[in-house]
Each structure stands twice: as structure tokens, then as C-alpha cells.
Amino acid sequence: MTALWRRHSVHGITLLLLVPALLGFFGLFFYPMLLTVVLSFRPEGQEAGWTLQNYTRFLSDPDGRWVILLTFILALASTALSVLLSVPLALTLREKVRAHRLYRLMILVPLVIPGLIGALGLLLFWGSRGWFNLFLLQFVPGVTTPLRINYTIQGLIFCYVWLYFPYTCVTTMSALESLDP
């Protein structure tokens, strides 16, 4: 009887300790998201009622449609490039090439660099006066103006690939390592 009582009291204490975290999660994440969805269906300036007017106005606006299209373009392009880069690299690193541990460590670099520092690094490297453009202007004949990479769709895709490539590569490597050779 005491073992059963002890087991139930441990579960009770665990649940009691989880309550503040669950309340914080509900109060800081779930409730604001629910409130945003509910308010998006309300008519503008009214306390009650339901309407799809906000959504029809957003979807009928050309800028609104462009935002949705751009989101799909960024998502599909960055996912495709991440997969196209990670699968060959994972297949290569499966063969235990020279310095494969160093390559595996380099794959994880974007994961350990905070987002703000990574964004600043990308700005410094790809900016109009960044290292990449300085190299092109000084050493590549025929290049007279810097390439515009930052603040473009291609730059956003590159940034997303930089951020999410490690996830696809690590997932692909772990899947390949679980297969028989």
C-alpha cells in the first residue's frame, strides 16, 4: 500500500510542479493566439459578431496576395535548397571522408550562433561593402558594381537556408546512419 501511495504522491507532486509552466504557456502563448484568431473574425470597431470581411479584404488586396505568394516562394525555395545541399553532404559524410568530424562540426555552427549575431554576420559578408563584394570588386575582372544580395528575395532564401540547413542535414545523416551499408 505504501508503494502505491508513494507512486501516486510522486505523480501528484509532478503535476503540481507542472502547473506554473502550463499556466505560463497558456497565458503567454495559447491565450494571445486564441485572442488573435477570435478578433480576426470580429467586425472592425464592434465588440460582438462574426464576419469574414477582414479575410476577404486581405485576400482581395494585391499586396496581401503578394505576401502569401512570397511566403510560399520563400518556404519552398529554402526547403528545396536545404534538401539539395544536405542529402549529398550526408551521403558524403556517411563514407567517413577525411576530416568528416570537422565537417559535422561545421554543419552545427548555425545552430549555436544566436540569430541576431548570424544576421549581422550575413550582413557584413554579403552587404554592398561586405567581404564578398570587396573580393569580387578587387579580384574579378569586369565586376564594377557590388552585387545586391541583402534585402532581396534571394538574400532571404540564402538566410533561411543558412538557418535551416543544419536541421535537414542532421536529420538526413541520422536517417542514413540507421540504414545498413
**Cell 535537414 sits on residue:** 168
Neighbouring C-alpha atoms within 13 Å toward the C-beta of 9:
6
Q: For residue 106, how many other CB atoms are within 10 A of its CB?
A: 11
Residues 63-83 have pLDDT tens digits of: 999 999 999 999 999 999 999
pTM: 0.72
Round to whole Å and give the CA distance between 164 and 172. Answer: 13
Ordered by start, the domain boundaries in the chain are 1-60, 62-181
Burial class (CB in 10 A: 0-12, 13-18, 19+), 159: buried
Residues 87-103 have pLDDT tens digits of: 998 888 888 778 888 88
Q: Could you tell me the fold of the domain covering 62-181?
A: MetI-like fold (1.10.3720)
Largest Cα–Cα distance of the chain, in whole Å? Answer: 85
